[in-house]
Amino acid sequence: MIGREHLTGAKHVGGVEVSGRKGMTMRRLLHLSTLPIASLVLLRLSTYRSVYSTQQLTSLVRSSKSEWKTFLNLTNTSNIKVRATATKSKMNHTQAISDAFKKGLNISYDSSSPSSSPSLLFHIRNDHNKITLSVSTSSSPLYSRPFRTVSVDSGKSPLRGNIASYMCLKTLNKDVKFLVDPFCGSGGVCIEAGVMLRKEVRVKRDLEMKGWKGYDYGVEGSVCELLKGENLDDIKIVGFDRDRGVVEAAKRNAERAGVADFVEFREGVISDLRNEWGEKGVIVSNPPWGKRLDGGGKDLRNLYGRTGEVLRKEFKGWGIGMLTERRLWAQMKVKETSKEERFSYAGVKPSFIRGIV
């Protein structure tokens, strides 16, 4: 999902693997972690082949940890988390794998003595008896957005930040001057577009890697320079929602995200939407979809039908990108211009579909 314009390397199912000179590691990790579509960025620590027992894994970790200590704080007992997976391996009990790793580090968890140091999240993958050890740049998923008011979207499957950002990346370019979201909810799409414009917000994000030994805050300036090449500086971003309380929450979210000056939120319904911006724009939205929001099927079909009527009348020639279901997209009668991209999300598989009104 990161894209060739950002990096090159070996592609794997679910991700991309890259390598580089040791001196570039911190800058590259920070750059990747600030890409708003990333879910997880890992630094590879060690790879062990033909590992068949927990004792063997413990011994291997003991022999490797001195090298890791040069940049990771492994002295505390309460700041280390471990996630393990196992596939077609003799050692397939993930808790046993985690315990063997912790034993190799010579740590034990003690919740009564919290640590002030940043958390370390280790990932252990055991695939066909091959152990891959990595540490995450962040202890929480990168798609999570600390600015979001969770209660606003309760029961409505709030859009993940990295999916909203991906939608923006696929629809915005230097020729687009306006982005409108007719169903903005708590502001996910509009705020992600604003974050793309305000690059320093991305670089200043709290990441556990900033607490690693030897982290140089000077790399943030060079990463900011890299991000300037994205060239998306003059876009007007406007979101609409029919619920006044939701609109106010979206405004607060934008304030917390540091992009309130880049986005505008208004109360309004789709039937009243008018094009006051001109010709070079895009509609990017995550409108209602899914059984939980559909009153027997007819309600959403009618909503999408009305949306299509308004868009064809007011926004002729605009680009459009929506995360929705194929059956609902069809109700809008909008020309599709690219192959749909499917996501596994909220228990269903919606599609991100792009077109021209």
DSSP H or E stretch at residue 27 = helix 25-34
Examine residue 290 and state whether it is found in any structural domain, yes or no. yes
Mean pLDDT of 252-256: 92
pTM value surpassing 0.85:
no
E-only strand ranges, the chain? 10-12, 15-17, 42-48, 80-87, 120-127, 130-136, 178-181, 236-241, 263-267, 281-285, 319-324, 335-336, 341-342, 351-356
Average pLDDT, the chain: 84
pLDDT grade for 236, boundaries at 50, 70 and 90:
very high
Cβ atoms within 10 Å, residue 221:
10
Examine residue 28 and state whether it is found in any structural domain, yes or no. no
Q: Tell whether 235 and 88 lie within a shared domain.
A: no
Query: What is the number of structural domains in the chain?
Result: 2
112 has a pLDDT exceeding 60 = no
Among the listed ranges 7-16, 104-113, 252-261, 286-295, which one has the minimum average pLDDT value? Answer: 7-16
pLDDT tens-place string over residues 84-97: 999 999 999 999 99
Instruction: Give the pLDDT score at 174.
Output: 84
Mean pLDDT of 313-339: 95
Look up residue 114 and give its DSSP letter: -
Give the rounded percent of residues in the chain with a pLDDT score beyond 70.
83
Quote the CA–CA distance of 222 and 231 in Å, as a whole number.
16
pLDDT grade for 2, boundaries at 50, 70 and 90:
very low
7 has a pLDDT exceeding 70 = no
Q: Tell whether 110 and 158 lie within a shared domain.
A: no
Q: Tell whether 112 and 187 lie within a shared domain.
A: no
pLDDT grade for 331, boundaries at 50, 70 and 90:
very high
Q: Tell whether 55 and 176 lie within a shared domain.
A: no
Q: Tell whether 95 and 191 lie within a shared domain.
A: no
CATH number of the domain that residue 71 is part of: 3.30.2130.30
Examine residue 242 and state whether it is found in any structural domain, yes or no. yes
Q: Tell whether 239 and 339 lie within a shared domain.
A: yes
Examine residue 196 and state whether it is found in any structural domain, yes or no. yes
End of a domain among 73, 108, 136? Answer: 136
Q: Tell whether 124 and 202 lie within a shared domain.
A: no
End of a domain among 136, 160, 191? Answer: 136
6 has a pLDDT exceeding 60 = no
Examine residue 79 and state whether it is found in any structural domain, yes or no. yes
Q: Which of 155, 165, 152, 182 is nearest to 251 (CA)?
A: 152
Give rounded-to-5 percent helix, strand, coil for the chain.
Answer: 35, 20, 45
Please give the residue range of the domain that contains residue 64: 42-136
Examine residue 217 and state whether it is found in any structural domain, yes or no. no
Cβ atoms within 10 Å, residue 60:
18
CATH number of the domain that residue 259 is part of: 3.40.50.150
Q: Tell whether 243 and 326 lie within a shared domain.
A: yes
4 has a pLDDT exceeding 90 = no
pLDDT tens-place string over residues 165-203: 999 989 998 889 999 999 999 999 999 999 888 877 777
Q: Tell whether 73 and 106 lie within a shared domain.
A: yes
139 has a pLDDT exceeding 60 = yes
CB 207, CB 30: distance < 8 Å: yes
Q: Tell whether 260 and 128 lie within a shared domain.
A: no
pLDDT tens-place string over residues 144-162: 777 665 445 544 557 888 8
Q: Tell whether 312 and 166 lie within a shared domain.
A: yes
Q: Tell whether 47 and 187 lie within a shared domain.
A: no
End of a domain among 102, 136, 170? Answer: 136
Instruction: Give the pLDDT score at 129.
Output: 97
Examine residue 3 and state whether it is found in any structural domain, yes or no. no
Examine residue 202 and state whether it is found in any structural domain, yes or no. yes
